[in-house]
Amino acid sequence: MGNLGPRAEAYYLYELARVTGYAGSHAESEKAFLEVLALIDKAKGEADKLRAPTLSEYARLLHDTGQHSKAVPIYEKVVSELERVGILSSDPLGFTALLDDYAGSLAAAGFAQRSAEVASRSASIKEAHKGGSPSFEARRYKA
């Protein structure tokens, strides 16, 4: 990618990974998301704002394409990262959509108890914000 540097390369590749996934090239998209995460680390703080969206999109790609066992550890990371950046204040209902997908991947991967815990947390957040709407609605990756 020339001499863009890790920050610019990460942002560029993030968009490419998303579009590639939406277009149905899931293996290429997955590889690109992994490269984005490596570039974020390489950027030494200059691309940290991209970590949560990258993890979210990567987890959603894996979930939507039925790769639930691979999605679970990514969801664990993204939940932690989103909580760190204050998602419960900025978009609690958007967060519940992610939690619902996480619960679905947990169930599909055979973690029924943990799935029920995550689903219960999502339901509690929804109840606390009844009548609201999410700030962000994710675009789905088609399997």
Does the pLDDT value for residue 2 go beyond 70?
no
**Does residue 47 surpass a pLDDT of 70?**
yes
CA dihedral defined by 30, 36, 42, 47, rounded to 10 degrees? -150
pTM above 0.85, yes or no: yes
For residues 86 and 135, the answer to whether their CB atoms sit within 8 Å is no
Q: Is residue 109 assigned to a domain?
A: yes
Q: Confirm whether 141 is domain-assigned.
A: no
The runs of H, that is alpha helices, within 85-133 are 87-90, 92-108, 112-128
Query: What is the domain range of residue 48?
Result: 6-128
Longest dimension (CA), the chain: 49
- Per the structure, the count of domains in the chain is 1
What CA–CA distance (Å, rounded) separates 18 from 129? 29
Give the DSSP letter of residue 135: S
DSSP per-residue letters across 14-27: HHHHHHHHHTT-HH
Residue 124 lies in a domain: yes
pLDDT, mean over the chain = 95
**For residue 140, is it within any domain?**
no
Query: What CATH number is attached to the domain comprising 10?
Result: 1.25.40.10
Decide if 40 is inside a domain.
yes
Q: How many CB atoms lie within 10 A of CB 127?
A: 8
Compute the distance between CA of residue 73 and CA of residue 135 in angstroms, rounded to an integer. Answer: 25
Q: pLDDT at residue 1 above 60? A: no
23 pLDDT higher than 70: yes
Please indicate, yes or no, if residue 68 is contained in any of the structural domains.
yes
